[in-house]
Amino acid sequence: MSDCCRSNASAKTREVCPECGSACISVGMRTLYHQVRFPENQAITVDSYFYCSSKQCAVGYFSCYGNAVPKQYLRSYSEIQEDKLCYCFDIDADQYLSALKANRAEPIKDFVIQRTKSGECACEIRNPSGQCCLANFKYLEKSQSQ
Ligand SMILES: [Zn+2]
């Protein structure tokens, strides 16, 4: 597994988004530098940031010291709006949901699991949360089974 997927729960901390109140997970500077577009990426203050995954919220990254990056500054902004499920392999939530309904979801998820195990994913820089995309599959499946 690549680092982003292995170190998940342990080192991550949580903070509430000052804008929308969602619980947000910490994210490393490496993710910010790859996610924030030019020229805004030139002016990021080094800090401990959290990512707000709420699609409607204008805040992308924020720190406890008042530093913030609007979601619109992120390179993955349009993907966030389209409910991207896997940022590494370009799979939309809609596509995966229709695969689930048609009983074709297993091979898609297996592909992502395999690539992740081989260290061929890029969640830390592609996924704006810096988290492993496989977590998104679990959330989606859980939301479907309710
Ligand atoms: Zn928010």
Expressed in angstroms and rounded, the spacing between residue 85 Cα and the centre of ligand 1 is 19
The CA 57 to ligand 1 mean position distance, Å, reads 5
- Distance, in Å, from the CA atom of 26 to the CA atom of 7, rounded to the nearest integer, reads 12
Alpha-carbon Rg of the chain, whole angstroms?
15
Q: How many CB atoms lie within 10 A of CB 112?
A: 23
> 29: CA distance to ligand 1 center in Å?
19
Domain containing residue 73 = 3-145
Q: For the chain, how many structural domains are there in total?
A: 1
Distance (angstroms) between ligand 1 centre and the Cα of 60 equals 7
Rounded to the nearest angstrom, the distance between the alpha carbon of 16 and the centre of ligand 1 is: 8
90 CA from centroid of ligand 1 (Å): 24
Which pLDDT belongs to residue 80?
96
C-alpha closest to that of 35 among 6, 86, 7, 73:
73
Structure tokens at 86: 């896997």
Task: Please list the pLDDT of the chain residue by residue as tens digits (146 residues).
Answer: 445 565 544 567 999 999 999 999 999 999 999 999 999 999 999 999 999 999 999 999 999 999 999 999 999 999 999 999 999 999 999 999 999 999 999 999 999 999 999 999 999 999 999 999 998 998 888 888 76
Distance CA 24, CA 16 (A): 6
pTM (two decimals): 0.87
Alpha-carbon distance 27 to 102, whole Å?
Answer: 35
